[in-house]
Structure 1
Amino acid sequence: METIERVQTGVRLEKRLLKVLKAVAELKDITLGDLIEGMALHVFEGKCPFDPETVRQIAELKKVYGLNLTAEASHHLKEQGDA
């Protein structure tokens, strides 16, 4: 077991994306922070953080919460009210 130091952070996320992330964390019975840490560590190594069943569940949750964004939308989002 690795000993680490965690810090509190304030992160702004797209509302529907956050709902899906929270639901996935709930499915896995882990905190949102643990989910994000695990995802980042997997992606940094070029690995998918989820098994096929979880990917299927995420697709269903995206439908439930109306999340139609894909990876291509990354870095191309603007907030309501922005010019």
Structure 2
Amino acid sequence: MEQADKRHGNQDIVVERVQTGMRMEKRMVKVLKGLAEYLDMSLGDLMEGIVLHAFAGEAPFGPQTQAQIQRLKEVYGMEYGADASHHLREE
């Protein structure tokens, strides 16, 4: 997200957005909201950027943003990483 899309440059792409009803882990949502605020963007725009980068097999964040993510994870007690992706469960 820290670099422009190579295929579309600065061209706008007209899209239709829809509301989702997805559920996510509470601390993760707090980190995402904090990151969106830090980057001065909406949570939806942040999530779209993360997904587009993931679909392209690219990392969405550079070192400075990664450092901010680590700080936010500490603040909100998100003590897990990608290795937990298939191990999150509700009580």
C-alpha separation in 2, matches of 1:34 and 1:22: 11
1:2 pairs with 2:36: no
**Residue 69 (structure 1) aligned with residue 53 (structure 2):** no
Equivalent residue number for residue 4 of structure 2: none
Q: What SS class does the counterpart of residue 23 from structure 2 fall into?
A: coil
Q: After TM superposition, what 4+ stretches of structure 1 lie above 4 angstroms from structure 2? A: none
Higher RCO by CA contacts (8 Å cutoff, separation 6 or greater): 2
- One-letter code aligned to 2:79: N
With structure 1 as the length reference, what TM-score do the two structures score? 0.93
TM-score by length of 2: 0.85
In the TM superposition, residue 77 of structure 1 has moved relative to its aligned partner by 1.1
Report sequence identity in percent: 56
Answer yes or no: is 1:45 the counterpart of 2:48: no
For structure 1, the 5+ residue unaligned runs are none
Which letter does structure 2 place at the counterpart of 1:43?
A: A
**Paired residue secondary structure (1:79):** coil
**TM-superposition CA deviations, 1:11-56 (whole Å, max 9, x none):** 1000000000000000011110000000000011111101110000
Question: Structure 2 unaligned runs (5+)?
Answer: 1-11
1:14 & 1:76 partners in 2: Cα distance? Answer: 12
Counterpart check, 1:60 vs 2:71: yes
CA RMSD of aligned residues (A): 0.6
Residue of structure 1 equivalent to 2:46: 35
